[in-house]
Amino acid sequence: MLNKFPQGSAIWVGLVPGLTDAGGFIPVLPTYQHPNYSSIYAVGVIVQLQPPEVTPLPVGVPKTGQMTEAMAMAVAHNIAIALGETSAQPVTPTLEAICFADFGDTGILFFADPVLPEPATGQRRRAIALQGAWVGWAKTAFEQYFLAKMRFGVAVPWFERLALRGVGLSLVEPLATSPSTDCLHGTSC
Ligand SMILES: Cc1cc2nc3c(=O)[nH]c(=O)nc-3n(C[C@H](O)[C@H](O)[C@H](O)COP(=O)(O)OP(=O)(O)OC[C@H]3O[C@@H](n4cnc5c(N)ncnc54)[C@H](O)[C@@H]3O)c2cc1C
């Protein structure tokens, strides 16, 4: 199939048989490896995350920048293990989110820990939403901070790691056991 495309051209992953689901999303194990192609990892909005419930409109699971960042950290770590660069334990993203949603003259800060409720209980450990005009200002300040740290090539500086730990969050967590090939991330198996 891949031979049909000129070398170096970009192709839509949904065209590759067996790589995605019907919606074009890539299924992943807790290591964020494809269940059938262990050298393929996925990160971000293209990752298949099963919605916890069926909704009248098929909106799917919201994916935020912080979740994408956590997935990328986990994948970088797990690729380093696969390449033999480190003997550390594999990790998985925690999929927690602190998000500033800007609505113009007001906004909402939401804190979802984790974004996907625990499959067994249907509950999150914590879910907080705060509204106010200050959310827009905080979002602008965070944007400036985020761009500055990216320019310095620092993904998560020590003080950010400390602040996240202070509110009981971490971007990734160690995987206790070797993930089975039929247990997709975000499912209750
Ligand atoms: C309006 C809006 C507001 C949001 N606000 C927030 C927020 O406040 N907080 C938050 O945490 N998250 C927010 N998000 C979500 C966040 O932006 C996404 O979760 C995150 O950017 C996803 O990262 P990604 O790398 O998966 O995809 P993207 O950031 O979309 O990156 C994909 C990249 O691939 C490139 N690309 C696509 N096709 C090709 C191709 N064929 N060849 C080469 N390159 C290609 C695209 O140009 C793009 O640069 C918001 C999203 C939107 C749309």
Q: For residue 146, how far is its CA from the centre of ligand 1 (angstroms)?
A: 15
Q: Are residues 34 and 108 in the same domain?
A: no
Q: Are residues 27 and 114 in the same domain?
A: no
Min mean pLDDT across 6-10, 49-53, 142-146 is at 6-10
- How much of the chain, in percent, has pLDDT values that exceed 70? 90
64 lines ligand 1 (CB under 6 A): yes
Q: Are residues 187 and 157 in the same domain?
A: no
Q: Are residues 79 and 163 in the same domain?
A: no
Q: Are residues 186 and 110 in the same domain?
A: no
Q: Are residues 85 and 151 in the same domain?
A: no
Give the domain range for residue 136.
Answer: 97-169
175 lines ligand 1 (CB under 6 A): no
**Taking the model in full, what pTM does it have?**
0.86
Burial of 59 (0-12, 13-18, 19+ CB in 10 A): exposed
Q: Are residues 130 and 149 in the same domain?
A: yes
Q: For residue 116, how far is its CA from the centre of ligand 1 (angstroms)?
A: 20
Q: Are residues 2 and 86 in the same domain?
A: yes
State the total domains in the chain.
2
Note the pLDDT tens digit of each residue in 91-134. Answer: 999 999 999 999 999 999 999 999 988 888 888 999 999 999 99
45 lines ligand 1 (CB under 6 A): yes
